[in-house]
Structure 1
Amino acid sequence: MAPLTERELSLLRDRIYSAPLVDGHTRSLVDHQTSSIPFLCGFEETEGHVRETPIHTLSFKRGLREIASHYGCNPSLKSIEAHRQAFTLERLYFKCLESSNMSAVLIDDSLPLDKTCSFDWHKSVFPNAFRILQIETLTENVFKEVVGNRDKCTFDDFVDRFMSTLKEYSKQVVALKSMAGYHGALDIDPQVAKSEAENAFKRCIQPCASICNAEKCLSDYIFLCGLKVATECGLPLQVHTGFTKRGSDLVLINPLHLCPVLEDQQFTKSRLVLLHASYPFLKEAAYLSNQYPQVYLDFGLAVTKFSFKGLFSAVNELLETAPLNKILFSTDAYAFPEAIFLGIKWAREVLLQVLQCTCASGDLYFDEALEAASDILGGNANNLYQLSHAPNDTLNQVSKETDPSSTNNHKTGVKYVRLLWSDSSGQRRCRVVPKERFEKVVKTHGVGLTTCCMGMSSHVDGPAKDCGLNAVGEIRILPDSESKWIIPWSLEEELTLVDMHMTPGSPWEYCPRSTLKRLSAVLQAEFGLVMKAGFESEFYILKPDPESLKWVGLDNSSYCSSLSFDAASDLLFEISAALSLMDVNVQQLHAEAGCGQYEISLNYEPCLKAADDVLILRETVKALVQRRRLLATFLPKLFPNDIGSGSHVHVSLWAGDKNVFQGDSSEASHYGISKIGQEFLAGVFHHLPSILAFTAPLPNSYDRIKPQTWSGAHYCWGRENREAPLRTSCPPGTDLGVVSNFELKSFDGCANPHLGLAAILAAGIDGMRRHMKLSEPIDNDPSLVEESLKLLPTSLDQSTRELEQNSVLKQLIGTSLVKCIIAVRQSEIEFYKKEGDVARMLAERY
């Protein structure tokens, strides 16, 4: 087999570094500023004392350099310790998790260290923290309770209390854990006699005795009791194997000693996780996972013990035999967050090298390596520990319960705020400010921006001729406090939409959001109505073709093809999840008819939120696809011989909770539409040629709007007619013959959604003010209608001329803003008629 191509290697690297990660086993952190635990203990897992040996190991020397690089200090132990003391534990923790994409962490909080942080503290800084219960710790606690009266204490009392307490705690944890391989041996006898264990217990309750040093028969019996509870409760049992304490008999910690337990009938449904991959018995552990369905492997702890070459060899050895769906990642971090940082960093680096080699050797296909990366880093743990059903209720690092507007940076980790807007040409633009400055200044006073920002076209960052704006003057972009979310793919950033003001409190007449707000207020004041809208956004996902050096469709399947959906399902689900976290409600996802074309439909919302939502959708799709080294584009006509992409919008009118666009049984209702709905739609129909200058803003837009392409080329409307630019719709749940909304198909993904909806709203208001009459619908293909139907404008030049002559829209939307838009459109016309194929440039911008 040939090695991976440069592109394949890049995609594999992206998958490994972006895959949600589950840290399957770690220890509690300590407050480094007050604890007596030396920093070096984090490299040793010793209880408060440290040997000199670690500082001479390759892993320590490399770790020190990488921690120093991450902190931006000198690569010396003294410098790092000084840096650590200057920051709180929360700050260090968030710094060490920076860009980790860690989605969940499982914590064993049983180890009593000086100034150990509680489990509640861990959950407060990382909501997706889950607890592991160590059965030996519970054994000691129950023993202390039961033996208060040594004369009356019985073994049965102890066992009953232990089992009942363990079952109760099992409701609050995702796994149990045994230290059998650390304290003693793994040659556990599944048939150990109760009488032997009872005699050993009696010796433990004698004065000066302790259950911590119990005889092997009693330790075995307790282990088996714990395994029974874990099996009954459906919990995995993590077993400490490998890396045992000094003085232990290494022969007895070979995991093959567990075979009698694994073969016992009462434990065939158990699930055991061998921690630390049983080092130095890696092959034996891999063999067990291969032969026994109950056995899983965790390759944690070796991270701080091995050189990079040693780590590579260890993980590579595991993959020689162990099933890929049974290998789990953990940092096994101890006391300090730097161990988490190193564990995540090195595991990803090693996994990249190992999977690259497995592909080169022919053991895995490229797509299998991608799947293995996701599974090993998080997917296997999610399935094994059933984290989607765990007590935390969520796997998202940014919980819905977390208030994204919170100013507590220590808890959210937010460092920057992205201020997002869309200009006259429909391009998304942003400014980014540090969170601290946002809270102190920007939230109230905004950020300065040149006035010509709304006069720029798609091809040049300068004001269009005659737009009325130039380099002189400045406005303020002010954040909308109700539209601020943590960015799911950039957890150190918040995103907020902005309004444009001359001075804070004085909306600028060129502002798209302010214009839509103003017209919405007119609709409410004059008619008591709210316009709601929902977008169906089509886009292409493209991959680079190494032969032609061009972008090509991700696949070549057909409309609603399940094969096409599968080709991008993980990416589409990631997009959907990210949108959900930003309060954007996805209704449907499916493959469209173009090669690599997809559609995401959003829920209908009040028109301002609908426009905001589609802007966020475009931002999300472009960003998450780009992270995969692919390209997403909403360009209306990307390929001359393939289907175009629209951003169809469904519109309805509401009075409170009632859809008043919808008709009823009264005589005033026609075509399933209410009287006021007919007037609104008639207004939109009347002004439709001019509206296209807002909803189809590029010359490329008109390459899409052609007859018999379901894009709405003819000047007509129809009932459930997908060839008409305006289609009344009867979705599921609507009474037969009654419509709930109308769809405008001549709206594309290059349009500013706020300006597009503002134009529709202005036209509808004019229709209601003048009580316009709706023409007869066209209920078949407009191309086949006998009487000649006019076409809508077939070029941006035509729709712009229509807008120039439309005094009503100018007055309602704003004369200065419309003048600016016309100038920008004319600039587009002049530029693109001189240029050749500009689809590639536009595909990257839109």
Structure 2
Amino acid sequence: MDISELRKTVEEVELVDAHAHNIVSIHSNFSFIHAFSEANGDALTFSPNSLSFKRNLRDVAELYGSEISLQAVEEYRRASGMQSICSSCFKAARITTILIDDGLQLDKKHDIEWHKSFIPFVGRILRIERLAEEILDEDLRDGSSWTVDSFTKAFVSKLKSYPLYVILSISLHTHARNAVLAVLDYNILAVFLSNAVTVAGEIFGLKSIAAYRSGLEINTNVTKRDAEEGLRQELIAGKPVRIANKNLIDYIFLLSLEVAQSYDLPMQIHTGFGDKDLDMRLSNPLHLRAVLEEKRYSKSRIVLLHASYPFSREASYLASVYSQVYLDFGLAIPKLSLHGMISSMKELLELAPINKVMFSSDGYAFPETFYLGAKKSREVVFSVLRDACIDGDLSVPEAVEAAKDIFARNAIHFYKISSANGVINSHSNLSQKLNDDLDIDVSLVRLMWVDGSGQHRCRGVPKKRFNDVVVKNGVGLAFAAMGFSSHMDGPADGSGLTAVGETRLMPDLSTLRRIPWNEKDEMVLVDMCVKPGEAWEYCPRDALRRASKILKDEFDLEMMAGFENEFILLKRLTREGKEEWIPFDSTPYCSTSGFDAASPVLHEIVNALHSLGISVEQIHGEAAQGQLEVVLKYTICTKAADNLIFTREVVRAIARKHGLLATFIPKYASDDLGSGSHVHLSLWRNGQNVYMGSGGSSKHGISTLGREFMAGILQHLPSILAFIAPLPNSYDRLQPNTWSGAYLFWGNENKEAPLRASSPPGTLDGVTTNFEMKSFDGSANPYLGLAAILAAGIDGLRRHLPLPEPVDANPNPEILQRLPASLSESLDALHKDEFLKEFINEKLLTCIKAIRKAEIEHYTKHKDAYKQLIHRY
């Protein structure tokens, strides 16, 4: 019997990971030993003696080429950094899709968006108990106490606010309506469902951990009165709420299952083993028979997680007799011994149809858990399917198809990933995306960085050398290069940088991209290091990471950012033998004819950005001649800075391809409006926007955290300008009555304010979702600019600075303070402002000040020199 085809399929198939959790920062206090064990407390000290611990540690050590010890692996992780180990683990795992349950509370966990740097497609699973607890932790606006009715309304409304990936067939069937009324308030649910629309988005399913709280013996006849009493008991226990009352848990479970069924969303259910706070006697999936027998849930789609171990046979039985039951074997693989994993997998397949069994890694906290889940799943599934062939249960071709189903196709069909957002149309597209990244026809890789003057620079290396040498050792760059100014490729006087010494440009593999306009090349952003794994003091990307870490460590917050990128398209004109560049057109703001004229360029820009994984929200003509704007979707600020660099590259390259020149220079023409890079900012915690106001803490629709953060930025804005408006030319743009923010104030939807509180369409009345900073322009190094903004905001949070009252009218120059009218004034403010030293270390700060001084001196002496900046920005 030739099983080579089966082995090849199992080894090469790209995986769809249908159940996983967030990865944590390398600085998290969640110990790495938890990658190998579910134990806690004193029991954890015994875990290194378990079979699975020893095997999994050995597998990770072999992947990294380190000694086989926990200490050696941890040392390798610290030296390599999170970006490197994530790239290694996910590349080895060959996972192309993950669905993340982000309801698991972990110290310093990365948000879902962060994971998209490593995985082509990332979706979300919403944990219902966590959602309920977050709602109950909030105070009602009118000061009243929660009731079951108010909770139900808030719960379903919150679900509605999320982007669900659904193909709707609403409304409830008539035969189910009366049954629903016996348990739930149908009127509340019906309003929610009748107003729903088909949307594509990130949530692909719900999840319940009822097994952890009160067990799986769900009472399908729980009454509102029972739930009301349970809710009262939970509220008496105080905040933060941790729901454990069985009646309330059962009510939430049934409410969620009804919503999930109506949206044709699956619901994952924890079954079987887990942490010690779980009563395993109550986690047997057979307890779910009452739910499965209930007619009103007959169209639901339920996934039993973790192979239901040690109840794998029971799970297999349920999947064989109930059409709504499906199985997922993550966590059992790789947390059991080899014999245990194989036995559990065989038990699942004793009765369950193969097209109901799905892979997941149940990866959590550490990228190594994803790798181990994938590696051991391949080994176990191969062993089980091979034995099935030997036993005569399957032919080899049937086993090959079974492997493809278990590892990818079942999940793609079940979670409807195949049509989500148009991103993934088939599993072959997933394969193609990964193969595109690995194509051997790539000639050169461009290593890109942004210097202290905000200019993009790169080195090119052949692909083979990149793989063989540069990935591990980087390339050398003279220290002096970080101190270059916009007018001279030499270090600015006083920068502290000379021709002596080199930094290492280490590629961040999570940013490696095929270049859309030149498919023979790739590009990758680099970190500047003293040696691999150790950041250089002058590295801009590290400055932003350090500031982000302080925000996370001290306040458990992350800053989201989204940029509006204005630029001017210029065309070449020759007059009397001299070359000139003039605006592409002279059409006004949002002109349809101007858009039509630029349409070929715009289409290519949008397509190129989408191919790089960058979401475009809008694109339109702006008010200056030849001016356009590309608006990017917000994301975590470190990634937003990366996306901004790629966007500038795309815009300039596509324009060049069409014989045009795109420039982000702040002020191209003295008699026309300038170009900015307005940035929208918000604060998030555990996947929720906490900049928005709610309850009694809200003022101007902004939370206390949001107001203090803004107050810090407003106080330090004069010195921040040296980072976000870094050229003398920048201040020609920052003028009154040009919507660029010339005075020191903030306002609600006031386009003249340098800080504008924003409430996009669809936002509840009186609620503000983000604020916009107008002063940021296209000549700024985004890492340094965002780091300075973060530093100021953190200062506001630390000192609980009050936010002044808004100015919701055109600014009065007789009342308001003028912001720096020149780079000289901003540099003076920076010299006096000491707060930045903690965030942007003193050496880098000295370098930036020297570059700004050099810019001032040069452009003061050479009045027309700014005209050459169109070729640099």
**Within 2, Cα distance between the matches of 1:725 and 1:765?**
19
Q: 2:469 aligns with which of 441, 458, 464?
A: 441
Instruction: Give 1:393 shift.
Output: 9.6
**Within 2, Cα distance between the matches of 1:804 and 1:506?**
29
CA contact (8 A) 1:530 1:655 kept: yes
> Paired residue for 1:738?
767
- SS of the residue 1:496 aligns to: strand
What is the identity, as a one-letter code, of the residue corresponding to 2:745? C
**Within 2, Cα distance between the matches of 1:843 and 1:829?**
18
> Paired residue for 1:431?
459
- SS of the residue 1:490 aligns to: coil
- SS of the residue 2:508 aligns to: strand
Q: 1:513 aligns with which of 541, 555, 563?
A: 541
Instruction: Give 1:839 shift.
Output: 3.5
**Within 2, Cα distance between the matches of 1:643 and 1:637?**
7
- The superposition leaves residues 129-178 of structure 1 with CA deviations (integer Å, 9 ceiling, x where unpaired) of xxxxxxxxxxxxxxxxxxxxxxxxxxxxxxxxxxxxxxxxxxxxxxxxxx
- 1:448/1:404 Cα in 2 relative to 1: closer, same or farther (>3 Å)? farther
* 1:164-203 paired onto structure 2 within 5 Å: none
**Within 2, Cα distance between the matches of 1:839 and 1:401?**
48
Q: 1:462 aligns with which of 481, 484, 490?
A: 490
> Paired residue for 2:728?
699
* 1:45-444 paired onto structure 2 within 5 Å: 401-403=431-433, 408-410=438-440, 413-444=441-472
> Paired residue for 1:579?
609
**Within 1, Cα distance between the matches of 2:636 and 2:439?**
32
- The superposition leaves residues 275-298 of structure 1 with CA deviations (integer Å, 9 ceiling, x where unpaired) of xxxxxxxxxxxxxxxxxxxxxxxx
1:617 corresponds to 2:644? no
Q: 1:630 aligns with which of 660, 677, 688?
A: 660
1:683 corresponds to 2:712? yes
- The superposition leaves residues 178-226 of structure 1 with CA deviations (integer Å, 9 ceiling, x where unpaired) of xxxxxxxxxxxxxxxxxxxxxxxxxxxxxxxxxxxxxxxxxxxxxxxxx
> Paired residue for 2:637?
607
What is the identity, as a one-letter code, of the residue corresponding to 1:686? Q
Deviates more, 1:788-797 or 1:833-842: 833-842
- 1:393/1:645 Cα in 2 relative to 1: closer, same or farther (>3 Å)? closer
* 1:632-651 paired onto structure 2 within 5 Å: 632-651=662-681
Instruction: Give 1:414 shift.
Output: 1.0
- 1:434/1:683 Cα in 2 relative to 1: closer, same or farther (>3 Å)? same
- SS of the residue 2:620 aligns to: strand
What is the identity, as a one-letter code, of the residue corresponding to 1:542? L
1:771 corresponds to 2:800? yes
Q: 1:791 aligns with which of 803, 812, 818?
A: 818
Instruction: Give 1:686 shift.
Output: 0.7
**Within 2, Cα distance between the matches of 1:822 and 1:745?**
22
CA contact (8 A) 2:614 2:632 kept: yes
Q: 2:558 aligns with which of 530, 535, 542?
A: 530
Instruction: Give 1:454 shift.
Output: 1.1
1:488 corresponds to 2:549? no
TM-score (norm 1): 0.52
What is the identity, as a one-letter code, of the residue corresponding to 1:650? H
> Paired residue for 1:45?
none
- SS of the residue 2:526 aligns to: strand
- 1:437/1:600 Cα in 2 relative to 1: closer, same or farther (>3 Å)? same
CA contact (8 A) 1:554 1:567 kept: no
> Paired residue for 1:539?
567
CA contact (8 A) 1:404 1:486 kept: no
What is the identity, as a one-letter code, of the residue corresponding to 2:593? L
1:591 corresponds to 2:621? yes
What is the identity, as a one-letter code, of the residue corresponding to 2:560? K
CA contact (8 A) 2:787 2:839 kept: no
- 1:734/1:394 Cα in 2 relative to 1: closer, same or farther (>3 Å)? closer
- 1:402/1:762 Cα in 2 relative to 1: closer, same or farther (>3 Å)? farther
Instruction: Give 1:674 shift.
Output: 0.1
**Within 2, Cα distance between the matches of 1:393 and 1:772?**
44
Instruction: Give 1:665 shift.
Output: 2.5
**Within 1, Cα distance between the matches of 2:748 and 2:433?**
44
What is the identity, as a one-letter code, of the residue corresponding to 1:759? A
RMSD: 2.0
- 1:581/1:706 Cα in 2 relative to 1: closer, same or farther (>3 Å)? same
**Within 2, Cα distance between the matches of 1:808 and 1:546?**
50
TM-score (norm 2): 0.50
How many residues of Structure 1 are paired with residues of Structure 2 in the alignment? 450
CA contact (8 A) 2:450 2:456 kept: yes
1:836 corresponds to 2:863? yes
- The superposition leaves residues 5-38 of structure 1 with CA deviations (integer Å, 9 ceiling, x where unpaired) of xxxxxxxxxxxxxxxxxxxxxxxxxxxxxxxxxx
- SS of the residue 2:522 aligns to: strand
Unaligned runs of 5+ in 1: 1-388
- 1:793/1:655 Cα in 2 relative to 1: closer, same or farther (>3 Å)? same
- SS of the residue 1:536 aligns to: strand
- The superposition leaves residues 744-773 of structure 1 with CA deviations (integer Å, 9 ceiling, x where unpaired) of 000100000111100000111111011111
- The superposition leaves residues 552-587 of structure 1 with CA deviations (integer Å, 9 ceiling, x where unpaired) of 111111000111111111101101100111111111
Instruction: Give 1:406 shift.
Output: 6.6
Unaligned runs of 5+ in 2: 1-418
> Paired residue for 2:837?
810
**Within 1, Cα distance between the matches of 2:526 and 2:423?**
33
- SS of the residue 1:703 aligns to: helix
> Paired residue for 1:759?
788
Instruction: Give 1:404 shift.
Output: 5.7
**Within 2, Cα distance between the matches of 1:827 and 1:795?**
14
CA contact (8 A) 1:404 1:484 kept: no
Instruction: Give 1:629 shift.
Output: 1.5
- 1:393/1:658 Cα in 2 relative to 1: closer, same or farther (>3 Å)? closer
- 1:402/1:500 Cα in 2 relative to 1: closer, same or farther (>3 Å)? farther
**Within 1, Cα distance between the matches of 2:565 and 2:864?**
24
CA contact (8 A) 1:409 1:415 kept: no
CA contact (8 A) 2:755 2:773 kept: yes
CA contact (8 A) 2:743 2:818 kept: yes
Instruction: Give 1:791 shift.
Output: 0.6
- The superposition leaves residues 214-260 of structure 1 with CA deviations (integer Å, 9 ceiling, x where unpaired) of xxxxxxxxxxxxxxxxxxxxxxxxxxxxxxxxxxxxxxxxxxxxxxx
Instruction: Give 1:399 shift.
Output: 6.5
What is the identity, as a one-letter code, of the residue corresponding to 2:715? H
**Within 1, Cα distance between the matches of 2:430 and 2:741?**
40
**Within 2, Cα distance between the matches of 1:393 and 1:682?**
40
* 1:542-553 paired onto structure 2 within 5 Å: 542-547=570-575, 549-553=579-583
- 1:715/1:437 Cα in 2 relative to 1: closer, same or farther (>3 Å)? same
> Paired residue for 2:690?
660
Instruction: Give 1:401 shift.
Output: 5.0
- SS of the residue 2:762 aligns to: coil
- The superposition leaves residues 264-320 of structure 1 with CA deviations (integer Å, 9 ceiling, x where unpaired) of xxxxxxxxxxxxxxxxxxxxxxxxxxxxxxxxxxxxxxxxxxxxxxxxxxxxxxxxx
CA contact (8 A) 1:405 1:485 kept: no
Instruction: Give 1:547 shift.
Output: 3.5
**Within 2, Cα distance between the matches of 1:405 and 1:641?**
50
Instruction: Give 1:809 shift.
Output: 1.1
Instruction: Give 1:638 shift.
Output: 0.3
Instruction: Give 1:407 shift.
Output: 6.8
CA contact (8 A) 2:543 2:839 kept: no
Identity of matched residues, %: 52
CA contact (8 A) 1:467 1:819 kept: yes
Rg (Cα) greater in structure: 1
Instruction: Give 1:836 shift.
Output: 2.5
**Within 1, Cα distance between the matches of 2:758 and 2:467?**
45
CA contact (8 A) 1:407 1:439 kept: no
**Within 2, Cα distance between the matches of 1:465 and 1:839?**
20
Instruction: Give 1:684 shift.
Output: 0.5
CA contact (8 A) 1:705 1:794 kept: yes
- SS of the residue 1:482 aligns to: helix
- The superposition leaves residues 484-510 of structure 1 with CA deviations (integer Å, 9 ceiling, x where unpaired) of 110011101111111100011100111
What is the identity, as a one-letter code, of the residue corresponding to 1:541? L
